[in-house]
Structure 1
């Protein structure tokens, strides 16, 4: 097989050169023969060693666009499989070497092999031949499975640990070539059989939604052939990982050995980058059979799958499933029969899907409307199955279990769907200057970096759930700048926006955040210490563990949102431990916020389109924003000494009551409450006083030598401050 790949001269070379080798043997010679002298010494520190390693050439996957350079979006097919053994013993490597020898390939030591900085561990890179080119998703799945195969045997005969660097399973990752000291070994086995390995297992950590081309996924999550196989009794089990359906081989009578659960499967349309679905049978007697052989044998004809006719027209979409019936030909109310009925929207009346973004089950009616599942709909579906289809009576609990399973099989992501329908970016930069243009915030390197971070965060969390994004933007201004309305306009739809209420329990906040991409933290001023801690944890968390109401098991909900705070005070940052997580900017007093929401809405799609493009190329742009924020954070931090001086001076001032001099100071007043201090010494208005402000005053009063005492003799028994003896 011809090997197509690309090479770079060193780590910083982002314009690799396309290469072609006529065979894997020629490819191995090119890689090994391209070793470079970098002069690694045993006395090198880790920093020096890492610096020297960056001078090594690298090889990469085939590029989609030869002129597009090295970036995630340009990573194409991989014609080899790569492994990085990042640490083991000499004995451990000898066993691994023996296990890898069943494949065709080669291995070479890394620049840090046996170096003192890595505790003299064995470090090897292994490259194996593969039967056909692999898409990025297939590379990830196959590499993980081969590693597991090797380790399953290794752990039976070895005790030494092996550290695998799985980053090389990502097509976007390069693999550095050998240096001048590298040891090289060759393996003379067979190329990895891509189809057989991919058929056996798909790693659980790979999101099933990325294994298929979204344009090939039907409204019910399968395709025409899969629906036919299910409806006509050829399916052997449930759809696995949304891509493969175990089936009964139509040529099973000719098999010479027993069939396993996944010996014969149907791989759905669009799987692994292939246009058409295909039936794969691992039995020796079926290896010569074509797809036409399989389809003819099961009786599949394209004409059987005409588009469903309009309501009231004649004709059926599919033959009825082979329901289990009693002796009177009535359909049994078994869970298997219920599942078959619910997989047929033309029979049960709705398509049942799980929106992974909202974590809600969505029902699509025959007229195309989408409604969120409510309890009463279970009864409606139950009634339809019993009355329309003639099912024998069964418990509604079966409906609930079946609906959840069908929804999971047909899962989709509404936010990703919305992004996929965005117009092409027109090339005009907008995200860097976003806040400067709309709220007239001073344009600087910092404010531009914040704009870029904010929009790439939104795009990143939408496309890669749970990706790190632990900083929040803060808009500082007077009232009347329409901050909240402007923030709402950034969201894909109004339903994607919410304001988070920290008065609610944490579990309720987690449930409410699901299905929202833009979340506002309103009015930061006055948050008490517990509130600040909750905000800090909320911003930095990448996934939430949540159990839905009346559910038995917990769900892991990966974060899909960005947080943006609004505040009316000039010094909102009161958390000395977590101030680095904030990116504050001041809106000028003369900014007119009247039309901001409409202006943002008018360019929202292009903002998102640009953000998606930038994120796919460079990821979330957090580094520059975080670095520049350090130069301005002190301008927004609360200065406790101002409050201390105001309170101290006021306590020593003579108290004036009813216009007459009382002869006592304010510090001697009875009662003397924290609210009195905030209103009279600091200048708050009474309705503005929050619990956090009172706690801040309490700390100051204790530092000034006061203690809190409850006045039991006064109405309401208020707490009162008095000087310690």
Structure 2
């Protein structure tokens, strides 16, 4: 994923393996015994891995994947593609290097600990490097990328959500853990290449469509090294709406990594995109303001791949200009209306909307009565059905009726979006 012309490599001078340094030479600040021989301890191992020419530009730490990596081969090894994650055999190769160079009893415990520590001190961030290296050509594509490459119908709403979502991805690249509590949702028939479009935008190595169960430690650690994460088949998650909302709104992942001794807190670097083949996937009674649905058509994957860098370059330019990455005002209202349109049809919806149209407060029982349901037929299931539609229509629960015939019943009043949400 990291090209050899990456800015990281430009700032690190690759020294010759033949450093000319001796373990008995004062050029290396090693701890020595009374005969001036270097002793084997953690401090000396760190000094050698840091200052000896053999080890220059070998060890690194990928801040995006949160993994220790080799930037080039361990001294004495040959071949292979770099950079790559550290493997167990690499620690053995490092131990062998110490054995060959004056420390025949170099312990694996110290070698491993020293390598891990030195890696941390030589960090780089491939996502930030990628974004920093982009140069925008001045042609605007961001407003219309969902229409131009994904076949969606161009509108002000479409332009806004497409642009803001991309800027939010850039923001997470430059400012890990910043608030980005929304999810673009691509709707379209099976085979429309929705997942392919997202993978093309992110780059194969930085995309995932296999997120483990949300809220688990596995899900938290899985986010490492991912920039765009697809949440597929939203309609199959009707019972998990609250879990999805809670998960996508988190800004920091706190968990104990596999084989780790301490918990870690890692600010998020990713954004989310949902995909679905259905148009009635919405199950959130509160309106699902975190979802930004878009109906796509034929997707131009080749065009998206061709212009990917320029789409992100424009998003970087706007981010640096201080553009926001959330929607507000009429666009936010339109998003809520779009989400409301994705709720499964309820034959009662129009009747309930008619009943509450001119009311300032109401109860579920009153709605049922207005619809002609006899008191003897009013069940908790029917009341629940009414309250779900009230919330979907923008009404909010506001305590209980304190007097009169409906005393004690849950009271609903119109919220700010009651008139606008269909």
TM-score (norm 1): 0.43
Find the counterpart in structure 1 of residue 86 from structure 2: 373
Contact 2:287/2:336 (CA < 8 Å) preserved in 1? Answer: no
The match for 1:219 is: 12
Cα offsets for 1:667-694 (capped at 9, x unmatched): xxxxxxxxxxxxxxxxxxxxxxxxxxxx
Corresponding residue number in structure 2 for 1:339: 46
The residue number in structure 2 matching 1:510 is 220
Is 1:622 matched up with 2:326?
yes
Q: Is the 8 A contact 2:211 2:222 kept in 1?
A: no
Name 1:541's counterpart in structure 2: 250
Partner of 1:497: 207
1:467 is displaced (CA, Å) by 1.1
**Farther off after superposition, 314-323 or 506-515:** 314-323
**Distance of 1:215 and 1:525 partners within structure 2:** 43
Deviation at 1:502?
Answer: 4.2
Q: Equivalents in 2 of 1:350, 1:641: separation in Å?
A: 67
Aligned length: 337
* Distance in 2 between residues matched to 1:341 and 1:406, nearest whole Å: 10
- Report deviation, 1:637: 1.8
8 Å CA contact retained: 1:333, 1:392: no
Q: Deviations over 1:400-439 (max 9, x none)?
A: 22222212221221111111222x2111111111111112
User: Structure 1 561/345 Cα, relative in aligned 2: closer, same or farther at 3 Å?
Assistant: farther
Could you give the per-residue CA deviations for residues 483-520 of structure 1, whole angstroms, max 9, x where no partner exists? 111111001x3100001434476111111111010111
Cα contact 1:353–1:410 (8 A) shared by 2 = yes
CA separation of 1:621/1:358 partners in 2, compared to 1, >3 Å: closer, same or farther? same
Could you tell me whether the CA contact under 8 Å between 2:176 and 2:268 is conserved in 1? yes
Larger radius of gyration: 1
Q: Which residue of 1 aligns with 2:229?
A: 519
Structure number having the greater strand percentage: 1
Is residue 469–residue 620 contact of structure 1 (8 Å, CA) maintained in 2? no
Structure 1 residues 627, 617: CA separation in 2 closer, same or farther (over 3 Å shift)?
farther
Counterpart-to-counterpart distance in 1, 2:333 and 2:117: 47
SS at match of 2:309: helix
Check conservation: 1:348, 1:384, Cα contact below 8 A.
no
Counterpart CA distance in 1 for 2:66 and 2:222 is 11
- Residues 1:353 and 2:60 aligned together: yes
Structure 2 counterpart of 1:434: 145
Query: 5+ unaligned residues in a row in structure 1: which ranges?
Result: 1-213, 221-306, 644-700, 706-725
Aligned-residue offset at 1:348: 4.3
Q: Secondary structure at 1:425's aligned position in 2?
A: coil
Alpha carbons 1:544, 1:556 under 8 Å: kept: yes
Change (3 A) 1:442 1:398: same
The answer to whether the 8 Å contact 1:352/1:361 transfers is yes
Closer, same or farther: CA 471–637 of 1 in aligned 2, 3 Å:
same
Q: 1:409 aligns with which of 121, 130, 138?
A: 121
When residues 578 and 535 of structure 1 are mapped into structure 2, their CA distance, relative to the original with a 3 A threshold, is farther
Q: Quote the Cα distance in structure 2 between the aligned partners of 1:345 and 1:550.
A: 30
Cα drift, residue 218 of structure 1: 4.0
Partner of 2:20: 316
- Asked if the contact 1:385–1:391 (Cα under 8 Å) also holds between the matched residues in 2, the reply is yes
> Does 2:316 align with 1:612?
yes
Check 1:397–1:415 CA distance in 2 against 1; reply closer, same or farther (3 A cut): same
SS at match of 1:564: strand
CA distance in 2, matches of 1:322, 1:557: 35
Superposition deviation, residue 479 in structure 1: 0.7
Provide Cα deviations, 1:597-639, integer angstroms capped at 9, x if missing partner: 2110100010010000001112333134434312322111223
Partner of residue 457 from structure 1, selected from 168, 179, 193: 168
Tell me which residue corresponds to 1:598: 302
| Long gaps (5+) in structure 2 | 1-6, 74-78, 350-378, 384-422
Matched, 1:444 2:237: no
Distance 1:455 1:505, change over 3 A: closer
* Conserved 8 A contact 1:460-1:620: no
- 1:25-424, aligned counterparts within 5 Å? 218-219=11-12, 308-309=15-16, 316=20, 321-326=28-33, 330-344=37-51, 346-348=53-55, 351-365=58-72, 369-387=82-100, 389-422=101-134, 424=135
Q: SS of 1:357's equivalent?
A: coil
Distance 1:345 1:605, change over 3 A: farther
Task: Say which SS state the counterpart of residue 324 (structure 1) adopts.
Answer: coil
Q: Confirm or deny: 8 A CA contact 1:330 1:390 kept in the other structure.
A: no
Structure 1 residue 528: Cα displacement: 4.1
* CA distance in structure 2 between the aligned counterparts of 1:326 and 1:503, rounded to whole angstroms: 55
Match 1:483 to one of 194, 199, 203: 194
- Report if the CA contact (8 A) 1:484-1:520 is conserved: yes
State the SS of the aligned residue for 2:69: strand
| SS of corresponding position for 2:341 | helix
Q: Distance in 1 between the 2:167 and 2:109 partners?
A: 44
Contact 1:331 1:392 in 2 (8 A): no
Change (3 A) 1:620 1:562: farther
Give the distance between the partners of 2:242 and 2:382, measured in 1 at CA: 26
Give 1:568's aligned residue: 277
